[in-house]
């Protein structure tokens, strides 16, 4: 933006339409940030599980009894799956130019959303 | 077209919610609802509806010239999506008898729907959108094979309306550093041109973190381009060219 300029700028994001490919891209970023901030928890759980047999069973029983922990891990897995799949989509377009037309980009975005939804349902059965 | 000349049965009223800002009168922009009578027996363009609104509110300001999608003057944000008012049929965008018009996002508003395009043109200037040659001029002209000429299809048609760059979040946040889809499409148009002799310099100019690489491929540009062009593909072509150049 031009400095010392007090002219208004129309940039109310709530009024601007964001197409599906844009939604998929912003969610890729948001999931990336969420994964980054949940890493301490996951690394902590990994280190506890590797420490000794007792600490592993302690963690296991904590996981079985704590719904909050289950929900946190569930959200982490869903976010991680989305980030991974959307990352593959990005790699496909960067490396092979796949998904660089409007139609193919939209289809790929929907595939990423669909696959994440499928994973999210699977994780429900797996964790809860 | 005068609304009074149309029989009553063929008219319906629509609400046009329009972004208004007059720097001499208003401290802040506001939305004004203007009720307009439009014909129902034929489709009109958004620009025609704007003319009807202006007949009621003569102070309403917008750019337009050719009114057929060639000059690129009347780019605006129509119901949240950028487009040219002159080639956007009202029937395609109207929802519950209402249409919302705002200026193109991200650029300073001069008045109502008119934005200051300086930032957009500055970025275009940076890519030097003209043929650069170093060899002596041939006697008649610099020729191209039909196949080489074909490489420029989908690139030269850009009318610089600004719909793409002003729909691009990367351009909103860094309009001075990221060149934006319109300028990058033109950049590729001259990199791809076999007659141009400054390909390496052109690529050198793009090799920083912002100019080109701020594109994250969300394709807002492609989805709004009134000429159906694909800046995302052009940007990807430049990226590939930068990478293969390094390997050589």
Q: Which of B112, B217, B225 to mutate to test the interface with A (most CBs of A within 10 A)?
A: B217
Average pLDDT along chain A: 93
ipTM summary value: 0.86
Distance from CA of B58 to the nearest CA of A (A): 22
Do residue B132 and residue B50 come from a single domain?
A: no
Q: Total domain count for chain A?
A: 1
Residues of chain B neighbouring A8 (CB-CB closer than 8 A): 21, 28-29, 108-109
- CB-based contacts of B239: which residues, under 8 Å, 6+ apart? A94, B212, B213
Do residue B206 and residue B94 come from a single domain?
A: no
Do residue B48 and residue B153 come from a single domain?
A: no
Whole-structure pTM value? 0.90
Query: Is some CB atom of chain A closer than 8 A to the CB atom of B107?
Result: yes
B123 contacts B183 by C-beta, under 8 angstroms: yes
Q: What is the DSSP letter of B136?
A: P
Calculate ∠ Cα B239-B244-B245, nearest 5°: 95
Distance from CA of A92 to the nearest CA of B (A): 12
Query: Is some CB atom of chain B closer than 8 A to the CB atom of A87?
Result: no
Q: Total domain count for chain B?
A: 2
Q: Which of A100, A106, A107 to mutate to test the interface with B (most CBs of B within 10 A)?
A: A100
Can you name the residues that pair with B82 across neighbouring β-strands? B77
Do residue B75 and residue B103 come from a single domain?
A: yes
**What does each of the 248 residues of chain B score in pLDDT, given as a tens digit?**
555 565 666 899 999 999 999 999 999 999 999 999 999 999 999 999 999 999 999 999 999 999 999 999 999 999 999 999 999 999 999 999 999 999 999 999 999 999 999 999 999 999 999 999 999 999 999 999 999 999 999 999 999 999 999 999 999 999 999 999 999 999 999 999 999 999 999 999 999 999 999 999 999 999 999 999 999 999 999 999 999 986 55
- B75-78/B30-39 β-pairing: unpaired
Do residue B103 and residue B150 come from a single domain?
A: no
Tell me the percentage of chain A whose pLDDT exceeds 90.
Answer: 91
A53 within domain boundaries: yes
The predicted pLDDT at position A38 comes to 94
| Contact across the interface for A22 and B169, Cβ inside 8 Å | yes
Do residue B17 and residue B48 come from a single domain?
A: yes
Q: Which domain holds residue A67?
A: 18-127
Query: Is some CB atom of chain B closer than 8 A to the CB atom of A10?
Result: yes
Do residue B48 and residue B154 come from a single domain?
A: no
Supply the CATH number for residue B56's domain: 3.10.20.30
């Amino acid at each position: 933006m031009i400095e010392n300029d007090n002219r208004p700028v129309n940039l109310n994001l709530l009024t601007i339409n964001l197409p599906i490919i844009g939604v998929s891209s912003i969610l890729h970023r948001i999931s990336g940030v969420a994964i980054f901030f949940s890493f301490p928890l996951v690394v902590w759980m990994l280190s506890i599980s590797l420490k000794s047999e007792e600490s592993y069973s302690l963690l296991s029983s904590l996981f079985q009894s704590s719904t909050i922990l289950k929900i946190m891990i569930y959200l982490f897995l869903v976010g991680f799956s989305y980030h991974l799949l959307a990352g593959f989509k990005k790699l496909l377009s960067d490396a092979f130019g796949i998904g660089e037309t409007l139609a193919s980009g939209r289809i790929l975005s929907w595939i990423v959303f669909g696959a994440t939804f499928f994973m999210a349902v699977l994780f429900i059965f797996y964790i809860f | 077209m005068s609304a009074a000349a149309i029989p009553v049965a063929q008219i319906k009223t629509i609400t046009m919610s329009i972004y208004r800002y007059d720097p001499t009168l208003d401290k802040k922009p506001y939305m004004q609802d203007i009720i307009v009578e439009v014909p129902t027996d034929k489709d009109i363009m958004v620009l025609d509806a704007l003319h009807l609104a202006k007949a009621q509110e003569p102070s309403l300001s917008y750019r337009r010239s050719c009114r057929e999608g060639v000059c690129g003057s009347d780019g605006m944000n129509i119901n949240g999506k950028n487009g040219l008012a002159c080639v956007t049929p009202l029937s395609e965008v109207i929802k519950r008898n209402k249409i919302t018009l705002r200026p193109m996002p991200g650029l300073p508003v001069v008045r109502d729907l008119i934005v200051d395009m300086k930032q957009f043109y500055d970025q275009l200037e940076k890519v030097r959108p003209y043929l650069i040659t170093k060899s002596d001029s041939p006697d008649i002209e610099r020729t191209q094979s039909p196949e080489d000429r074909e490489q420029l299809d989908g690139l030269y048609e850009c009318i610089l309306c600004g719909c793409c760059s002003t729909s691009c979040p990367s351009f909103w946040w860094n309009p001075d550093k990221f060149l934006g889809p319109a300028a990058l499409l033109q950049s590729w148009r001259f990199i791809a041109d076999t007659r141009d002799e400054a390909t390496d310099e052109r690529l050198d100019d793009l090799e920083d973190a912002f100019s080109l690489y701020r594109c994250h491929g969300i394709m807002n540009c492609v989805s709004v381009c009134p000429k159906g062009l694909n800046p995302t593909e052009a940007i990807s072509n430049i990226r590939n060219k930068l990478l293969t150049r390094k390997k050589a």
